[in-house]
Amino acid sequence: MDRPVVVCMPTSEPDYTETATVQKCSKCGIEIWLAENTVKHIKASGYEDFDLLCVSCADGQVQEKMKSEAIMFMMPSDEQLAEIAASQNVPFEDFKKRVKEGVERMNMAANFAQN
């Protein structure tokens, strides 16, 4: 089973959730936020393990990696999306739709690179 890649905000950005822990980007090592809800969501989706990347490494890493292996991006959990939407004062459904479109675009780009 493919390992999902979880893209996290660096700790230089504010944390939008109440439950995030500080982790390290698996590429550059900077400190990033990992929300507890995200971990629960990944495990509930049947994945025991995952790669953590900061947003700035995610781009470069993905371009590189998807030349040789399949990459799949996961949606953040509804709980996490709701927390972020609330903190930014945007409607949950709109926010979720926007994030979903972004994730689908990234997955599509990753699949194109494979073929």
Binding site for Zn ion (CB under 5 A): 25, 27-28, 54, 57
Report, in Å, the least distance between residue 84 CB and Zn ion: 20
Residue 17 or 61: the one with the smaller Cβ distance to Zn ion is 61
CA distances for 5 relative to 41, 69, 99, 110, 114, angstroms: 13, 12, 15, 12, 16
Nearer to Zn ion, 25 or 35 (CB): 25
- Is the Cβ of residue 51 or residue 79 nearer to Zn ion in the bound state? 51
Compute the least distance from the CB of residue 24 to Zn ion, in Å.
8
Residue 25 is given by DSSP the state -
Shortest Cβ 82–Zn ion spacing (Å)? 26
Q: How far is the CB of 34 from Zn ion (least distance, A)?
A: 13
Residue 57: both structure tokens together: 């490494």
Q: From CA 32, how far away is CA 30, in angstroms rounded? A: 6
Q: Which is nearer to Zn ion, 33 or 96 (CB)?
A: 33
- Label the pairing between strands 5-8 and 51-54: parallel
Residue 62 CA, distance from chain mean position = 12
